[in-house]
Structures are given as C-alpha cells and as structure tokens.
Amino acid sequence: MKYTTRRHFIKTTAAAAAASSAIAAPAIAKDAKSPSDRVRIGLVGFGGRMRGHAGSLCEMTKTDNVEIAAVCDCDKRKLDAVETHTPGLKGMKFKRYDDQRKLFDDKSIDAVTFATQDHWHALQTIWACQAGKDVYIEKPASHNIWEGRKMVEAARKYNRMVQTGTQNRSSPNVVEGIRKLKEGVIGKPYMARGMTYKCRGNLGKHNPCPVPEGLDWDAWVGPAKMVEFSNFQHRRWYWISNFASGDIANQTTHDIDIIRWGLDLDTMPNLMMSLGGRYLPGDTDDADTPNTQSFMCHWDDRQVHVTFEVRHWYSNNEARMGEKYPFVSPDQCVGVIFYGEKGYMIIPDYSSYYTFMGIKHEPGPCKFNAQPIDWWTESIPHFQNWVKAIRARDHKVLNADIEEGHLSTGVCHLAKISNAVKRSLRFDPKKEQFIDDAEATKMLKREYRQPYVVPEVV
C-alpha cells in the first residue's frame, strides 16, 4: 500500500527522490546524423491523444516508409494494452519501454512523438533533442514561457526537427483559408476572436488512494510538485495547475495559433489583459484552473484587436459555430472569427473555413470536408510534414516548428499570468520579459522537482 497516510506519503516520496537523484538525463548524442530513408519512431504516453498519433502513424507505415519501432509508458497497464488502445499496432514488432530515458538511449530510433502531460513537454523535448532524436510534441508546447524558449534553443543547438501538434497548420482546407485571408478575401482584417465553449461540468474531488500496481507515480509526476495519488490527479490533470494550464492553453493554443498565423503576428503581444475564475459548476470541485476566462491582447506595431473567451458551462453559439458548423458536437462552440473590411471568416474545426460578405453576411468562398473529422487519422498531413522535414534536415520545412508552438503557447501563458495577478501586463516580446513587474516575472518559470529539472543551458 502506497501513500495511505500523510506520514507514509512524505516518507515514501523522500525515498523516491533520493533514489531518483542519481538518475541522469540521456547521454547527449555526439553525432546526430540524418536518419536512414526509413524513419523509425518511438511513441511515448498512451493516453487519449496518443490514439490520434498512433492511428495516423499506423496508416503512414503503409505509405510513407516509417516504422513504429518502440512504445513507452510509465504505467504498465497501458503499456500492456497498447494494441487494444490502437488496433493498428496489432502484428507490428516494436520494443516496449517503461522508462523514456531508455528509449532515448536506443540509437536505432530516429524520432519520438509525445502525447504526455503538459508539465513534461519541455524536459522530454530537450532530453530527446540531446539524444539526437527528432520530436513531435503535443500542444500546448510548454508549461511556462521560460521553458518554451529552452525547447527552441535545444532544437536549434542539436539541429532537431521539433514539430508542435497544432495540426491546423497542415490541414489543406485551413491552409487554403489562411491563404485567402492573406490575399484579402475579407479585405483588411481589423479584429480576430477565438472561443472555447465546452460543457466540461463538475470535475470532482481529490480523494487520495494507493498508487495502482504497475504505475510509476514518481515518473508520472516528474518535474511537477509531488502530490498524493488519486484518480482526480491522474485523470483530471488538464485542469490542475501543477500539471497543466487548463483550457486557456489547452484548446486555446490551437486557435491562438490560427490567429497568429492568419495575421502574421510573429511575436508574443506587448500588452495582455485577462480575467477569469472557477464559477458554476466548477466552484465545488478540486480543479484550480479557470473554467471561465477572457483575454485581450495587443501588438504595438499592428492595428488589430485580438480577443479570446473560455466557458465550461451552458453557452450560446457564435457565428453559428457549434450549430450549423460544429467542432465535434452541438455543445461545443470552438473556433476563430476573422473580421475584415469586406466581411468575416470563420474556422470552426481542423478541416474547414467559411466566409460571409457584407452587412447581409452573404456566403463567400469556403472549403470543407463532406465527412466528419476522423480523430484517429486527422493528423496524417501534420506527421507527413514532420517526416518530410526529418528527411530534409531543415526546420524551415516544418509547418509548426517549435518556435511557432512556443509563441502561440506563450500568448496563453501571458493570459494565465495576467489573470493570476488581476491586472494588465506590459511585455517585451524580444526579450520575453515583463516590463517593471517583479510579481509577474516570477511566473515566467516554475520550480522543478529533482532530478527532473529543465536545464538553464540545454
């Protein structure tokens, strides 16, 4: 029985920390060569999002000369059930690792794709780059702004192809929509608005219990503050600030990335103002990230207004997104609206765009798929782009290079910090530092738990 009492929890945690302090990061590759024509990929983290990674890559083994060479999870139950999790893996020969550092040390593996908790993304990416692996990292790229920049530094230092999982950048229809936006289909844009309205409900309570057999809880918690295990901590990590940033950086990263891309906003903003909190029905659960939040941000050199809003309870639709143009289901209004001098454009999912012209909102150019999104394989174009960059050894080939992922995630982190201090913030996007604000500056970085420390020098 683990962590059944607070005294036992503290004693066991201390022992685990002492034992793990001797664990080193993977050895830095001395010669990070280009992979062979066949790209051998390791998969790390078999939660829900890995379904899309593995499903897409399984299809690519038939057409793109890639091989799924290894799978890894610190939960033995998940590791034993990867074929059930992803039926496409049945019959394939691959190695199984319960420690990602062993996978990084495997010189036969060229690249690694991660579908893990946000708080792990930076260290995993850095370790993999140091080991000579190319990386596909899920969004949001980082847990804070400082470590996001370290991810970019590692990618450049070791010449690694690091793709962020903002797959809209590889969606043919969305690519067409952004091209038309820049060509002036709605005229000069003056505003962009994004929204994430998903009825999340009450997320429940934290009730400590023994760590399940086969789960390495120390490895799962990794760089975060050690906490007692419960299904709430394990399953609701998206909404716990120790592990993630809530929806202000979860779904929001996708849509802020579209806004930055469409408006050519190539830095974080100069000014951010955000307010929010946990309201009905989340005011009685144990999540600690806002379920209702709004922000506005401004770029000093651009005449454009950018806003965003998150809601987790009953809400209206906007621009008929979630009604005629649903994201997944009618209870989810998710997407982006670009407003211009001739009309407006909506991007309501990962595979479509629509335009509406003039005061009567007459339908204009659009592109959409007749069939609903297949979440098992919708990321194929994004993974294909990643593999293309791996073979070219050129990060400029990437549609969502880690620099873009860092900047889009950084906008979300600025909103998170502004909400925490309850005031607007001035920011220097070149230095990636707040201007004369010591309180906000402390939130650019977090404290890391030994030995899972993001290094100052990557």
Give Cα 336 to chain centroid, integer Å. 18
Give the pLDDT score at 25.
63
Which residue pairs from 91-95 have beta carbons closer than 8 angstroms and sit at least 24 positions apart in sequence?
92/58, 92/61, 92/68, 94/68, 94/69, 94/70, 95/69, 95/70, 95/71
Residue numbers of the domain that contains 270? 173-217+245-370+405-435
Residue 304 lies in a domain: yes
Residue type for 380, please? I
Give the pLDDT score at 4.
37
Q: 402 and 125 in contact (C-beta within 8 Å)?
A: yes
Give the pLDDT score at 210.
98
Q: Which residues contact 239 (CB under 8 A, 6 or more apart)?
A: 200, 203, 246, 247, 287, 288, 289, 291
Exposure string (b/e) for 281-320, b if CB count within 10 Å is 16 or more? bbeebbbebbbbbbbbbebeeeebebbbbbbbbebebbbe
Residue 80 lies in a domain: no
User: Helix 145-157 to helix 121-130 angle, to the nearest 10 degrees?
Assistant: 10
Asked if the model's pLDDT at residue 152 lies above 70, the reply is yes
- Token pair, residue 31, equals 């010669």
How many CB atoms sit inside 10 A of residue 10's CB? Answer: 13
Report which of 185, 177, 195 is spatially closest to residue 340, judged by C-alpha positions. 185
Averaged pLDDT for residues 210-234 = 98
Residue 22 lies in a domain: no
Residue 2 is given by DSSP the state: -
Instruction: Tell me phi and psi for residue 368, to 5 degrees.
Output: -155, 160
Question: What pLDDT band is residue 334 in, cutting at 50, 70 and 90?
Answer: very high
Residue 22 is given by DSSP the state: T
Asked if the model's pLDDT at residue 358 lies above 50, the reply is yes
What percentage of the chain carries pLDDT values higher than 90? 88
Asked if the model's pLDDT at residue 18 lies above 50, the reply is no
DSSP 206-253: ----PPPTTB-HHHHHTTSPP----HHHHH-GGG-TTT--GGGTTHHH
Asked if the model's pLDDT at residue 158 lies above 70, the reply is yes
Asked if the model's pLDDT at residue 403 lies above 50, the reply is yes
Q: 429 and 270 in contact (C-beta within 8 Å)?
A: yes
Q: 109 and 42 in contact (C-beta within 8 Å)?
A: yes
Averaged pLDDT for residues 200-212 = 97
Question: What pLDDT band is residue 15 in, cutting at 50, 70 and 90?
Answer: very low
- Token pair, residue 435, equals 């201007």
Distance between CA atoms of residues 157 and 146, nearest Å: 17
Distance between CA atoms of residues 63 and 276, nearest Å: 46
Give this prediction's pTM.
0.94
Residue 416 lies in a domain: yes
Q: What is the CATH number of the domain that holds 358?
A: 3.30.360.10
Question: How many structural domains comprise the chain?
Answer: 1
Query: Beta strand 305-311 with 292-298: parallel, antiparallel or unpaired?
Result: antiparallel
pLDDT 10s digits, 430-448 = 999 999 999 999 999 999 9
Question: What pLDDT band is residue 10 in, cutting at 50, 70 and 90?
Answer: very low
Show the CA angle centred on residue 224, arms to residues 218 and 230, nearest 5°. Answer: 60
Residue 90 lies in a domain: no
Query: SS3 of 315, please?
Result: coil
Q: Return mean pLDDT, the chain.
A: 93
Averaged pLDDT for residues 247-254 = 96
Instruction: Tell me phi and psi for residue 40, to 5 degrees.
Output: -100, 120
Give the pLDDT score at 331.
79
Q: What is each CA distance from 257 to 52, 87, 109, 130, 132, in whole angstroms?
A: 20, 32, 30, 27, 28
Distance between CA atoms of residues 32 and 34, nearest Å: 7
Asked if the model's pLDDT at residue 121 lies above 90, the reply is yes
Give the pLDDT score at 7.
41
pLDDT higher at 372 or 114: 114
Q: 458 and 159 in contact (C-beta within 8 Å)?
A: no
Distance between CA atoms of residues 405 and 162, nearest Å: 10
Residue 382 lies in a domain: no
Q: Which residues contact 205 (CB under 8 A, 6 or more apart)?
A: 232, 285, 286
Residue 348 lies in a domain: yes
Residue 72 lies in a domain: no
